[in-house]
Copies of this chain bind each other. A is one copy, B any other.
Amino acid sequence: MPSLRRTGRRVDTVERGRGHPYNGLRMTAESPEGSFEELQQRARELVDAGRLLYGRGMVPATSGNFSARLSDGRIAITVSGAHKGRLSESDIMVVDAQGAALEARRPSAETLLHVQIYHNYPDAMVVLHPHSVNATVVSRFSGDELVLRDYELLKAFPGIDTHERTVTVPVFANDQDIVRLARRIDDYLEAHDPMYGYLIEGHGFYTWGAGIDDALRHVEAFEFLFECEICSRGMERS
């Protein structure tokens, strides 16, 4: 699979209410028929991902959010407040590449974090933010970084072909000011490469992939590894 390379572009604002150019295209909600079919397909994938993750207890009580980048640069993202385990395709709305709504609805409150990932990683086409017990608990006991080592399952991440590599998952303090949080994340991303995902303290994790299968594989891998870490910590005290 392609590695997800960073571009270095910083995103820290969200402009609301107007179409914005991206890659030379003017974007509006009414795009040619072909891209509407693409939107429907991406929406269905996110709806199905929501059911799958809900069945595993990873998106309780309207938490979490998902998005997919369309080929014209717009982003399909879950609306604010929807229960992610019971989505319908109408719960997926469209924002532009800066996160500005292209419909008269509110996108996820964390839209900017999705936008930021797409700007930094041109190969990322899907961003998933689950909110599991394992992620929440491990985020509170890992300091600034969780270092995962000696797990065969690290090979689920792109570019890792041995269990002897380590994967470092930063833990960012939670912040209701999303712009400020995005800046802190951007600073970390600039200093560290490659990146596979990150934790927000008491708030779950973000991961991404080249498509829905890729992103879900990363979710499964992180969730497994978080559970191993928590379980192992319990064993260490014997």
A residues with a Cβ closer than 8 A to B are 57, 60-63, 83, 131, 133, 136-137, 140-141, 150-153, 156, 161-164, 174, 176, 200-204, 213, 217-218, 220-221, 223-224, 227-228, 230-238
Contact = CB atoms under 8 A, between A and B. Distances in A.
A156 B230 contact: no
Contact of A233 (B174, B200, B238): B238
Contacts of A220: 60-61
13 contacts: A60-B156, A60-B224, A83-B217, A136-B228, A141-B238, A150-B201, A151-B203, A152-B202, A152-B203, A162-B176, A163-B176, A163-B203, A233-B238
A104 to B, nearest CB: 21
- Oligomer copy total: 4
A233 B232 CA distance: 11
A203 B221 CA distance: 13
Given A150-B202, A176-B163, A235-B137, A156 B224 contact: no
B232 A60 contact: no
A63 to B, nearest CB: 6
Q: Which one of A156, A161, A228, A236 has the highest number of Cβ atoms from chain B below 10 Å of its Cβ?
A: A228
A230 B233 contact: no
Nearest to A153: B63
Contacts of A218: 61
Contacts of A202: 150-152, 163
Nearest to A86: B213
Contacts of A217: 61-62, 83
B162 A231 contact: no
B176 A151 contact: no
A152 B204 contact: yes
Nearest to A161: B176
A224 B141 contact: no
A124 B4 CA distance: 42
Contacts of A228: 133, 136-137
A18 B199 CA distance: 48
B201 A176 contact: no
Contacts of A230: 231, 234-235
A178 B224 CA distance: 24
A162 B57 CA distance: 22
